[in-house]
Amino acid sequence: MIAHLVDLHQRRVYPAEILVENGRIRQILELDSAPQTAGFILPGFVDAHVHIESSMLPPAEFARMAVVHGTVATVSDPHEIANVLGNEGVMYMLEDAARVPVKFCFGAPSCVPATTFETAGAVMDAAAVEKLLEHPGIGYLSEMMNFPGVLFNDAEVMAKIAAAKRLGKPVDGHAPGLRGEDARRYFAAGISTDHECFTYEEGLEKAQLGVKILIREGSAARNFDALWPLLKEFPEQIMFCSDDKHPDDLVQGHINELAARAIAYGCDFFDTLRAACVNPVLHYGLPVGLLREGDPADFIKVDDLRDFRVQETWIDGVQVAAEGESLLPRLLSAAPNQFTAHSKKRDAFRLKSNASEVQCRVIEALDGQIVTGAASELLQVADGCILSDPARDILKITVVNRYTPDAKPALGFVRGFGLKEGALASSVAHDSHNIVAVGTSDEALCAAVNAVIAAKGGISASDEAGNARVLALPIAGLMSQSDGYTLAREYAELDAWTKDVLGCTLRAPFMVLSFLALPVIPSLKMTDLGLFDVERFGFVEVVE
């Protein structure tokens, strides 16, 4: 193969012929010239931190779509399915991924359950995590979300970190907003990365501690614009990641988009591509070729070095994508699940009060962020029930336990969705994946929640009359068995309906919805056990 080779080690571009034999690069011959139409060859892109489950696709189908954008490998945290199915879920991801050539590096989930403040489907203690870390298919200890456990030397937390260190496997961080001495102590425990920085100042402080900063741009959390200057200051410590990528976004692009944006913002060309292609391979020890003689023949061909439009993707010397089309076969995945919730009655969503009006805590959903705000609003009471107030964008939120058949829904209030009518519901609800829903009325909430229950997992939307649409996710209530492109189209249609008919104003409403139940991210969240104040690290009453 003759093309212009982008050598990220020598930091130069030159004409070359690449000879491949038995899946590896046998020789690279530098040439005097090559036709401009020959294109450019560079190492494949790597997503340095992603939850494959967020695409609503199993690994084999995710791979089929990602290779089109030049992705040859991912560093993947199976934390989501582990919180539903435990070790069985992690093994499912490994087995499904093994059916395709994309190089998935899975981690051992460090926080299952994520906290004790919600009901999860599994428990993975230090012994289980250590056993998993010994598995050859597990490359690292996944994001350590329990930063208080690190700071206070919790025995279970420290045992998991010690096991990873003993086995020579990196430990991923998860410390949103952690600064100062607490941050220093957290990372000094042996934690080497953080993908949760949402301001430049936070990223700068952590980078100065030697932390590898993963600049995240996903479907919900979008931190690229805040953090990209760090690439100019700490080029060897920067990687790119998506964290969570919904299927309609995956159709459009992946890490290639972040490389193009960094170049457009004036970042150094070679530093940008090292962040996108090389730094994750070196940090996690991935078996991914970097365009050197003897390396696995993992590379991509692009038609320019600005937009990185991918013409070809090669993994182990086999072409897996060509001109926007995946060459990987469509494979049907199995559907393990754990979903026992029974359908609910409308009265289950009534929040009662004896007063005529009450002061209530309100979660503030923020577009493009997984952090939330906290507000206090006066709400009216009618017939002994506290009312939502769509005119002021104050809606009811509920989290319904999916693991216990007749558990009572937890109730509260949220603003930021802009719904004029109806409700949204999802069993993709980080991290325990109970059912989270928001709505303008109890009737609409009930219809949306019951649609998810009937499907044994999925996302749904209901109008005020109780007419619900649902996208079924039979794999652990998180992933679909559908063709990825079909799923992306159906998801986009449901997303558009929530905006065009129900009036939702968020860019990615279901992604924002999924993080409202995550009690490790500031500041006010809702779990199946109640309203949780992350700053206080405890439950609070809805009515103040």
C-alpha torsion 45→49→53→57, nearest 10: 0
List of domains in the chain = 44-287 (3.20.20.140), 346-539 (no CATH)
Which residue in this structure is represented by tokens 């290639």?
256
Please state the separation of Cα 315 from the chain's center in Å: 24
Tell me how far CA of residue 96 lies from CA of 57, 61, 100, 103, 138, in angstroms.
11, 9, 8, 12, 14
pLDDT in tens, the chain (544 residues): 999 999 999 999 999 999 999 999 999 999 999 998 899 999 999 999 999 999 999 999 999 999 999 999 999 999 999 999 999 999 999 999 999 999 999 999 999 998 889 999 999 999 999 999 999 999 999 999 999 899 999 999 999 999 999 999 999 999 999 999 999 999 999 999 999 999 999 999 999 999 999 999 988 788 999 999 999 999 999 999 999 999 999 999 999 999 999 999 999 999 999 999 999 999 999 999 999 999 999 999 999 999 999 999 999 999 999 999 999 999 999 999 999 999 999 999 999 999 999 999 999 999 878 889 999 999 999 999 999 999 999 999 999 999 999 999 999 999 999 999 999 999 999 999 999 999 999 999 999 999 999 999 999 999 999 999 999 999 999 999 999 999 999 999 999 999 999 999 999 899 899 999 999 888 999 999 999 999 888 999 999 9
300 with 8: CB under 8 angstroms?
A: no
SS3 376: strand
Residues paired with 469 in a beta bridge:
461
Tell me the pairing of strands 24-30 and 138-144. Answer: unpaired
pLDDT tens sequence across 231-287: 999 999 999 999 999 999 999 999 999 999 999 999 999 999 999 999 999 999 999
What is the distance in angstroms between the CA of the first residue and the CA of the last residue of the chain? 69
114 with 73: CB under 8 angstroms?
A: no
Q: Which of 123, 85, 128 is nearest to 108 (CA)?
A: 128
Can you state the angle between helices 87-97 and 59-66, rounded to 10 degrees?
40
Residues paired with 239 in a beta bridge:
214
Cα–Cα dist 381/357, whole Å: 5
Please state the separation of Cα 394 from the chain's center in Å: 27
CA angle 531, 79, 133 (to 5 degrees): 135
What contacts 130, CB < 8 A, 6 or more positions away?
Answer: 159, 160, 163
263 with 269: CB under 8 angstroms?
A: yes
Cα–Cα dist 443/413, whole Å: 16
Q: Which of 284, 249, 340 is nearest to 139 (CA)?
A: 284
What contacts 91, CB < 8 A, 6 or more positions away?
Answer: none
Within 10 angstroms of residue 111's Cβ, the number of other Cβ atoms is: 23
Please state the separation of Cα 303 from the chain's center in Å: 29
Mapping DSSP onto H, E and C, the string for 376-419 reads: EEEEEEECCEECCEHHHCEEEEEEECCCCCCCCCEEEEEECCCC
Cα–Cα dist 83/432, whole Å: 5
Which residue in this structure is represented by tokens 């994750």?
280
Mapping DSSP onto H, E and C, the string for 42-91 reads: EECEEEEEECHHHHCCCHHHHHHHHHHHCEEEEEECCHHHHHHHCHHHHH
Burial of 305-314, coded b for 16+ CB within 10 Å and e otherwise, reads beebbbbbbb
Tell me how far CA of residue 211 lies from CA of 173, 182, 335, 370, in angstroms.
9, 14, 38, 22
SS3 172: strand
Cα–Cα dist 430/111, whole Å: 12
Cα–Cα dist 6/261, whole Å: 18
Tell me how far CA of residue 412 lies from CA of 178, 360, 382, 388, in angstroms.
27, 8, 16, 9
Q: Which of 354, 361, 360, 412 is nearest to 381 (CA)?
A: 354
Cα–Cα dist 57/481, whole Å: 7
pTM of the model: 0.94
Residues paired with 155 in a beta bridge:
none
- Per the structure block, which two tokens stand in for 79? 């934390």
Which residue in this structure is represented by tokens 């009901």?
119
- 191 φ, ψ (degrees, to nearest 5): -90, 130
Residues paired with 421 in a beta bridge:
none
Which residue in this structure is represented by tokens 């340095």?
48
140 with 131: CB under 8 angstroms?
A: no
Tell me the pairing of strands 410-415 and 394-400. Answer: antiparallel
